Amino acid sequence: MIPTIKQSRFARVTYNAYIALFFVYLALPLVVVSVFAFNDSLFPSLPWEGFTWDWFFGDERPKTGVFNERGIMRSIRTSVFVALCVSVLSVTVGTCNAFLFNRYKFRFSGVLYVLMLLPLVIPGIVLGISILVFSSTVANGVEDSIGWDIEALRPGLLLVILGQFSFITTIVTLVIAARLKRFDTTLEEAALNLGATRLTAIRTITMPYLGPALIGAAVVAFLMSFENFNTTLMLVGSDAPLTIAMFDRLKEGSTPVLNAVSLLLMIGSSLLALVMIAFQKKE
């Protein structure tokens, strides 16, 4: 709806009702999940049995809270480790990709750019299966040939990191490249004329300019890795990240512990997003 064009009262009411229903549709499931994280019941459903913190801090069964569930806490640590690794790798490679596609013209650059974008259109589960089949084929071939069993190519954290890295790097590249395109290259040229080396000019001028994009890309990569399920499911080994651990728990039956974990994830994701927004506004 265009504000400058006069609309009938019916049109305005209908439009406002649509907006309200849209946000209710988005927020209502999250609110329900959050509310039942405090329900003093063994099941996350009605009737309401009273308010409790047991699903967060309880230390006795059957109401063992999130912070006393060793399996859940171990899976959170695993997810954080994977997300940090993926963030560092994605930002490093994504920054190099952004410079490559923005600063250099070379043969088949268009083809290479399209290949970089392919992971975004391939379903995550297909991507995970492809990586699993390829790595298993290589590992089996090496074992059959020389008798070495390469554990790194078997399902485990390394494959999870590589699988998530394969598509998150593309998103990070696009985020950083979007800001790099707006950079005034004459600033680098001025530094070079004043005696700075190419590396010094990039380190002291270009990289500080890319700072907000680098931090934003790192936060996006961390959140996408932490919450990824499809690709991770195909590549995980014995050390399950949080999303896989929650999925396994859900198969056994839903409990308010999962609601509590979900609420903590929502709060953590929101805080990271607010920090990123605040930093970018400051810059």
* DSSP output for 240-271: --HHHHHHHHHHH---HHHHHHHHHHHHHHHH
**Distance (Å, rounded) from C-alpha 91 to C-alpha 221?**
8
Q: Count how many residues are written for the chain.
A: 283
State the pLDDT at residue 251.
78
Q: What is the mean pLDDT of residues 214-241?
A: 89
In the predicted model, is pLDDT for residue 168 greater than 90?
yes
Residue 35: strand, helix, or coil: helix
State the pLDDT at residue 1.
55
pLDDT in tens, 190-223: 888 888 888 888 888 888 888 888 988 999 999 9
In the predicted model, is pLDDT for residue 253 greater than 80?
no
**Distance (Å, rounded) from C-alpha 110 to C-alpha 23?**
40
State the pLDDT at residue 5.
64
Classify domain 76-252 at the CATH topology level.
Answer: MetI-like fold (1.10.3720)
pTM for the full model? 0.84
**Distance (Å, rounded) from C-alpha 212 to C-alpha 282?**
9
In sequence order, the 6+-apart residues with CB closer than 8 A to the CB of 30 are 266
Q: Are 255 and 44 in contact (CB under 8 A)?
A: yes
State the pLDDT at residue 2.
58
Q: What is the mean pLDDT of residues 70-83?
A: 91
Q: What is the mean pLDDT of residues 172-191?
A: 88
- The mean predicted confidence, pLDDT, of the chain is 85
Q: What is the mean pLDDT of residues 38-62?
A: 82
Residue boundaries of the structural domains of the chain: 76-252
